[in-house]
Amino acid sequence: MGSHLCDRFIKEHYEVIGMDNLITGDLKNIEHLFKLRNFEFYHHDVSKFVFVPGHLDYILHFASPASPIDYLKIPIQTLKVGSLGTHNLLGLAKGKKARILVASTSEVYGDPTVHPQKEEYWGNVNPVGPRGVYDEAKRFQEAITMAYHTYHGLETRIIRIFNTYGPRMRLNDGRVLPAFIGQALRGEDLTIFGNGSQTRSFCYVDDLVEGIYRLLLSDYHQPVNIGNPDEITIAEFAEEIIKLTGTKQKVIYKDLPVDDPKQRQPDITRAREILKWEPKVSRKEGLTITYEYFKNLPEEELYKSKHRFA
């Protein structure tokens, strides 16, 4: 997501500084930006003190392991970047008198008992379950961001992002969309965890970036859901991937992981009203673009099973 945001802000003629410790990210996603005069990159862990010289107008805090396969392997770093990292960046924003937007998540709703999820819903999270490290880090992130708004008058924005996909995802990041496409490309069966009746709603990355951009420039400091309400069961989604890729493989079923949410669908009434935003890219279009991206990756990418911290 960070690379797509850099692209968008460069396109809008901003001077952009990217900061990343590359724990789950990959420099090749931004290497096309290195030749630009209005782009700089700092290799830095934001859970440590952050120093940036000069003036800043906006800070977008998207640093965090984001997929379950990542945050389950690096739980402490995940908790630190959501808490200490957010604190450091709020401090930076205060010092620079900059506006800050923090990337929260639909995971703050946990395994929701309300459907679809509105921003007023407080969530159903197990703090000591395996996913708690991510969910609670993000809930803390929202709380401290709101506290900086209330007590320091900082200009803050909170986006709750629902499942997003697009080019530059890692095939091996454990999320269902790259997992299915990776299996289809390798000629393996598609694995569904559980019986496939659990639902997800997938938002194409360009739609998400537009929502972020509008929220950042708005004057609204309460959380806003950004996602695509077009909900689909995982079993139906597997069928769509089979059709898209033309694979002859079948679907196989495995046990559902602990605390896996059963239903996910954003209520985007707030985004529609306040930001005049709604998703424009259909799943069919978005999947076609994303599949093209994965299909054109070098073959060794298809077989990379582990990330560098694994």
Ligand X SMILES: NC(=O)c1ccc[n+]([C@@H]2O[C@H](COP(=O)([O-])OP(=O)(O)OC[C@H]3O[C@@H](n4cnc5c(N)ncnc54)[C@H](O)[C@@H]3O)[C@@H](O)[C@H]2O)c1
CB 19 within 8 A of CB 60: no
The torsion angles phi and psi of 42, rounded to 5 degrees, stand at: -115, 125
- Judged by CB under 6 A, the number of residues near ligand X is 23
From 42, 71, 109, 134, active-site residue: 134
Q: Find the binding residues for ligand X in span 13-32 (CB under 6 A).
A: 20-25
Residue whose CB is less far from ligand X, 109 or 247: 109
Residues 89-148 that bind ligand X (CB under 6 A): 103, 105
Nearer to ligand X, 80 or 99 (CB): 80
Buried b (16+ CB within 10 A) or exposed e, 124-139: ebeeeeebbbbbbbbb
Which of 81, 92, 101, 287 is in the footprint of ligand X by CB under 6 A?
81
83 binds ligand X (CB under 6 A): no
- Closer to ligand X by Cβ: residue 117 or 247: 117
Tokens 């299996």 belong to: 183
Nearest approach, Cβ of residue 187 and ligand X (Å):
26
Provide, rounded to whole angstroms, the least separation between the CB of residue 140 and ligand X: 13
C-alpha to C-alpha distance for 145 and 141, rounded to whole angstroms = 6
Q: For ligand X, which is the closer residue by CB, 69 or 247?
A: 69
Which amino acid type is present at position 250?
A: K
Nearest-CA neighbor of 67 among 220, 217, 174?
A: 174
Give the nearer residue to ligand X in terms of CB position, either 118 or 249: 118
Which position among 16, 108, 161, 238 is part of the footprint of ligand X (CB under 6 A)?
161
Provide the minimum distance between the beta carbon of 56 and ligand X in the complex, in angstroms, as a whole number.
16
Q: Are strands 231-233 and 199-201 parallel, antiparallel or unpaired?
A: antiparallel
Q: Which is nearer to ligand X, 104 or 183 (CB)?
A: 104
Instruction: Give me the long-range contacts of 271-274 (CB less than 8 A, separation at least 24).
Output: 271/211, 271/215, 271/224, 271/225, 271/226, 274/218, 274/220, 274/224
Among 18, 85, 182, 279, binds ligand X (CB under 6 A): 85
Q: Minimum distance from CB of 4 to ligand X (Å)?
A: 8
DSSP secondary structure code for residue 257 in this structure: P
Active-site residue, 134 included = yes
Tokens of 27: 């420099």
Which x/- pattern, by CB under 6 A, does the window 40-79 give for ligand X? -----xxx--------------xxxxx-------------
Classify the C-alpha dihedral 110-114-115-117 as positive or negative: negative
Binding mask 187-216 for ligand X (x = CB under 6 A): ------------------------------
Catalogue the E-assigned strands of the chain: 16-20, 39-43, 58-61, 99-105, 156-161, 164-165, 190-193, 199-201, 203-204, 224-226, 231-233, 251-254
Least Å distance, CB 70 to ligand X, is 6
The residues annotated as belonging to the active site are: 134
Q: Interface residues with ligand X (CB under 6 A)? A: 1-2, 20-25, 45-47, 62-66, 81, 85, 103, 105, 161, 163-164
